[in-house]
């Protein structure tokens, strides 16, 4: 069972007490429980050994989460109640899709803790967790469509872990996937035409570098998949906890304060995967670097890929793994 399935089976407390939780122990994590508060919000409770220097760590309140250390609370489990101290994370949303996203990140966090975590260990691990959710209050760095297109490439790849490993850490980087001599830039189109906007740098790499353009059609439909649906599909294919944390971090940072909109915007999954094509940078019409004046920068232009023959990315002869695993 997923953490969401476990959570949905827990009864909501009837008493309006912010320190009262109904909870269930997690067999995979003996130090943790998943619970629900009187508002119906998901709660993760972590029991940890007390380290004196960390007893007074700051509690944190953000738009989506509240994190409280050393909270004395009453936890009801199997009709038995007990008062104890926990580090408590509350996710402030009743929307099931967003709850699943939160619990996916929480599971990644729990996986990174030892079987008997000290409070210092809990606090240090929570730092990354908090930063992921702090990103959701900031301005979005890319459109939902652009991020969805990158995720469909990861989801459709032979080895998603390889692509996540080479995925940009910050959305503002020049290429979406960068493995030094191998680079992939994803371009999406909502009007079903392969006409994309490029920067001069994307199509004029150094001589020892091969750039591949991944072109995909992204049509908005009511019965498609949203970003969190794609994320769920990808998560089921990857094992490494560091890569799971990376993908959550990038998605949160990219979406910023448009996070809640992601559940409402869905794209045609079958159209996207069937329309995915790859093109070598050498074959695409471009503004050549030699024609750009010395003091001119950030040159952008549209180029039409309609009549260009796509390439089989796996047959490009390079020494790296990025193209082979895509």
User: For residues 104 and 188, what is the distance between their CA atoms, to the nearest angstrom?
Assistant: 27
CB proximity list for 92: less than 8 A, separation 6 or greater:
39, 41, 63, 64, 65, 66
In tens, the pLDDT along 229-267 reads 999 999 999 989 889 989 999 999 888 888 888 888 999
User: Confidence class of residue 53 from pLDDT cuts 50, 70 and 90?
Assistant: low
Q: Which two tokens stand for residue 209?
A: 């570098």
CB 42 within 8 A of CB 91: yes
295 pLDDT band, cuts 50/70/90, is: confident
Q: pLDDT tens across 143-156, in order?
A: 899 999 999 999 99
Question: Tens digits of per-residue pLDDT, 85-106?
Answer: 888 999 999 999 899 999 999 9
DSSP class of 28: T
pLDDT tens column, 310-320: 999 988 877 78
In this prediction, what percent of the chain has a pLDDT beyond 90?
63
Mean pLDDT along residues 4-30: 94
CA distance 45 to 41: 13
Closest Cα to residue 188, out of 169, 209, 208, 214?
A: 214
Cα separation, 326 vs 312, in Å, equals 10
pLDDT category at 68 given cuts 50, 70, 90 is confident
| Average pLDDT value for residue range 298-307 | 93
Q: What distance in Å separates the CA atoms of residue 29 and residue 115, rounded to the nearest whole number?
A: 7
Query: Could you give the CA distance from residue 161 to residue 167 in angstroms, rounded to a whole number?
Result: 10
- Alpha-carbon distances, residue 70 vs 52, 174, 186, 310 (angstroms): 11, 44, 45, 58
Q: Which residues contact 314 (CB under 8 A, 6 or more apart)?
A: 158, 323, 324, 326
Cα separations in angstroms, 4 against 102, 130, 182, 232? 9, 20, 38, 12
Q: What share of the chain is helix, strand, coil (3-state, %, to 5)?
A: 35, 30, 35
- Nearest CA-CA partner of 118 in 89, 141, 87: 87
């Amino acid at each position: 069972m997923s953490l969401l399935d476990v959570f949905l089976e827990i009864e909501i407390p009837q008493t309006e007490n912010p320190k009262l939780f109904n909870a269930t122990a997690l067999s995979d994590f003996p130090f943790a429980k998943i619970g629900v508060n009187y508002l119906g919000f998901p709660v993760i409770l972590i029991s940890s050994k007390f380290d004196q220097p960390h007893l007074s760590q700051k509690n944190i309140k953000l738009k989506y989460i509240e994190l409280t250390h050393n909270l004395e609370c009453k936890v009801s489990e199997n009709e038995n109640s007990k008062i104890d101290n926990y580090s408590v994370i509350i996710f402030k949303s009743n929307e099931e899709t967003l709850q699943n996203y939160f619990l996916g990140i929480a599971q990644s966090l729990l996986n990174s803790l030892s079987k008997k975590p000290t409070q210092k260990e809990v606090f240090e691990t929570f730092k990354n967790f908090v930063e992921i959710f702090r990103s959701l209050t900031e301005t979005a760095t890319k459109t939902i469509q652009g991020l969805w297109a990158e995720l469909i490439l990861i989801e459709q790849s032979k080895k998603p872990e390889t692509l996540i490993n080479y995925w940009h850490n910050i959305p503002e980087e020049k290429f979406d996937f960068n493995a030094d001599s191998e680079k992939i830039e994803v371009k999406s189109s909502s009007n079903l035409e392969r006409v994309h906007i490029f920067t001069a740098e994307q199509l004029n790499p150094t001589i020892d570098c091969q750039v591949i353009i991944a072109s995909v059609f992204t049509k908005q439909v009511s019965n498609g998949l949203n970003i969190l649906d794609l994320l769920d599909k990808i998560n089921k294919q990857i094992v490494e906890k560091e890569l799971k944390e990376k993908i959550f971090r990038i998605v949160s940072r990219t979406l910023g304060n448009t996070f809640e909109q992601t559940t409402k915007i869905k794209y045609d999954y079958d159209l996207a995967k069937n329309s995915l094509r790859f093109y070598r940078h050498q074959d695409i019409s471009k503004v050549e670097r030699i024609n750009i004046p010395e003091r001119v920068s950030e040159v952008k232009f549209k180029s039409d890929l309609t009549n260009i023959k796509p390439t089989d990315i796996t047959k490009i002869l390079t020494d790296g793994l990025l193209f082979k695993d895509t």
